Copies of this chain bind each other. A is one copy, B any other.
């Protein structure tokens, strides 16, 4: 597991929100960092999302605090007050303003934090923090994730470290459930903001586990400048590499998932149409179950393309559907082809590649198969 970049330190602990696993983490920078956040568009967004949006108004953060196993969503004024109290306590310990601490929370909706336990822990917290292991940070933010998700890359003499969690309720609209990036590269807000948004659009905003958009989606990057300036193109490329690696980890760890599904749509009218078609395919329960069953039932891919019924320029007579590099439509498949495709669908990663034959638009979406494991995990999550 990678170490946090220069100048970042973490506090990781178990408050006992649900059990004895780590459920509380604060990552702090020893100097104020340029910061950008993108958040869920949900109309039921949690109070952590509102507070972090406010904290990011000046494009600077000193720390991010995360509580897992409880989303603190739909909890009314009391929930809001509890979140503010956590932020205040963290700010007090770090000796920074409340407005330079972001907060994120993930887990069950509609329950209050167990504030006695939270207060008791916060009163014992001391700075400076000593944690440096990004794996511990990634572990503390997990809910039903089966493993911690971290990725890293170097850019010149600086580095980028990303952590993410998320396995269900995932069709991010602006960001996935929770993902944080820390870098010691020196970047002003004017440079970091467009880079971060572009990277998020092609990575986390391209993943869907189950079409359900979380109330807590939060993606934040902190750049503290401790490693000095970087080449912006190289930085964006490295950030994309880190974010894409995390995106694929999130898709493959989708609840009950056994297969990563990558859907590439090209020659669309524009990128927006390519995204619409790719999302329609990657979200189709019938496509997802056919991949799970290693069944080369390409008719379901055709169905999912056809669902984009407002896209009047999609013409079934020019569409091409491939699994990997094997054309399935319009070419008729031989029994031998079908057997080969069925074998291909047993891989850990499957590519569905659709060409619409209209223009230059393209988009790649990431998802996973739909299995009985998803049903088992979600049929009795709170009870």
Contact = CB atoms under 8 A, between A and B. Distances in A.
Contacts of A153: none
Interface stretch (A87-95, A185-193, A221-229, A304-312): A304-312
A295 interface: yes
A230 interface: no
Nearest to A111: B299
A292 B379 contact: yes
Contact of A43 (B71, B295, B300, B309): B309
Interface residues of A, number: 63
Interface stretch (A29-37, A127-135, A212-220): A212-220
A314 interface: yes
A316 B43 CA distance: 7
Contacts of A306: 40, 42-45, 213, 215
Q: Interface centre among A210, A289, A372, A380, by most B CB within 10 Å?
A: A289
This chain's copy number in the assembly: 2
B286 A210 contact: yes
A67 to B, nearest CB: 16
A306 B42 CA distance: 4
Contacts of A379: 289-290, 292-293, 295, 371
Interface of A: 40-45, 71, 73-74, 76, 108-110, 168-169, 173, 210-215, 283-286, 289-290, 292-293, 295, 297-300, 302-309, 311-312, 314-316, 329-330, 342, 370-372, 374-376, 378-383
